Amino acid sequence: MQASADVNRRIARITAHLNPRTNNLKMEGSSNLRLENCRAKGGSPGFKVAILGAAGGIGQPLAMLMKMNPLVSVLHLYDVVNTPGVTADISHMDTGAVVRGFLGQQQLEDALTGMDLVIIPAGVPRKPGMTRDDLFNINAGIVRTLCEGISKCCPKAIVNLISNPVNSTVPIAAEVFKKAGTYDPRRLLGVTMLDVVRANTFVAEVLGLDPRDIDVPVVGGHAGVTILPLLSQVKPPCSFTQQETEYLTSRIQNGGTEVVEAKAGAGSATLSMAYAAVKFADACLRALRGDAGVIECAFVSSQVTELPFFASRVRLGRNGVEEIYPLGPLNEYERVGLEKAKKELAGSIEKGVSFVGK
**Cβ 104 to ligand NAI, closest distance in Å?**
9
- Side chain identity at 287, as an amino acid letter? A
Instruction: Tell me: is residue 132 an annotated ligand-binding position.
Output: yes
Which residue among 185, 211, 267, 308 contacts ligand NAI (CB under 6 A)? Answer: 267
> By CB under 6 A, is residue 140 in contact with ligand OAA?
no
Select the binding partner of residue 308 from ligand OAA, ligand NAI, none (C-beta < 5 to 8 A, by kind). Answer: none
Q: What are phi and psi of 346, to 5 degrees?
A: -55, -45
Of 39-47, 75-83, 201-209, 211-219, which segment contacts ligand NAI by CB under 6 A?
75-83
Residue 128: helix, strand or coil by DSSP? Answer: coil
Cα separations (Å) of 249 from 126, 204, 218? 21, 14, 10
Give the chain's radius of gyration (CA, Å).
21
Q: Could you tell me if 218 and 191 are in contact, meaning their C-beta atoms sit under 8 angstroms apart?
A: no
CB nearer ligand OAA, residue 3 or residue 264: 264
Cα separation of 203 and 196, whole Å?
10
162 part of the interface to ligand NAI, by CB under 6 A: yes
Q: Among residues 72 and 194, whose Cβ is nearest to ligand NAI?
A: 194
Under rule CB under 6 A, residue 132 binds ligand OAA: yes
Residue 332 corresponds to which amino acid?
Answer: E
- Is 230:218 a contact under the CB 8 Å cutoff? yes
Segment near ligand OAA (CB under 6 A); pick from 208-216, 252-260, 323-331, 346-354:
252-260
Q: Shortest gap between Cβ of 123 and ligand NAI (angstroms)?
A: 4
CA distance 181 to 276: 31
76 has which bridge partners? 50, 100
Nearer of residues 132 and 313 to ligand OAA, judged by Cβ: 132
Phi and psi angles of residue 55, each rounded to the nearest 5 degrees, phi first: -95, 5
CB contact at 8 A, 74 and 87: no
Helical (H) or strand (E) element with 188: strand 188-190
Q: Which is nearer to ligand NAI, 75 or 269 (CB)?
A: 269
Annotated catalytic residue 222: yes
The number of beta carbons lying within 10 Å of the beta carbon of residue 145 is: 14
Question: Nearest distance from residue 162's CB to ligand OAA, in Å?
Answer: 8
Q: Binding site annotation covers 56? A: yes
Question: For residue 133, how far is the Cα from the chain centroid?
Answer: 18
Binding mask 166-205 for ligand OAA (x = CB under 6 A): ----------------------------x-----------
| 78 vs 75: CA distance, rounded Å | 10
Candidates 5, 11, 8, 4; CA nearest to 91 is 11
Does position 273 interact with ligand NAI (CB under 6 A)? The reply is: yes
Contacts to ligand OAA from residues 110-129, by CB under 6 A: 125-126
Of 165, 162, 201, the closest CA to residue 61 belongs to: 162
Options 38-46, 54-62, 250-258, 314-322: segment touching ligand OAA (CB under 6 A): 250-258
Annotated binding residue 54: yes
Q: Which of 142, 170, 260, 307 binds ligand OAA (CB under 6 A)?
A: 260
Kindly tell me which residue out of 103, 122, 252, 285 binds ligand NAI, with binding defined by CB under 6 A.
122
Q: Does 229 bind ligand NAI (CB under 6 A)?
A: no
HSE toward the beta carbon, residue 261, CA cutoff 13 A: 7
Q: What is the dihedral of CA 213, 216, 221, 222, to 10 degrees?
A: -40
- The region of 36-44, 135-143, 204-212, 318-326 touching ligand NAI under the rule CB under 6 A is 135-143
**Does residue 164 belong to the site contacting ligand OAA (CB under 6 A)?**
yes
- Residues belonging to the binding site are 53-59, 79, 126, 132, 139, 162-164, 198, 273
- Residues belonging to the binding site for NAD(+) are 53-59, 79, 139, 162-164, 273
Contacts with ligand OAA, residue ranges (CB under 6 A): 125-126, 132, 164, 194, 255-257, 259-260, 268-269
Residues labelled catalytic: 222
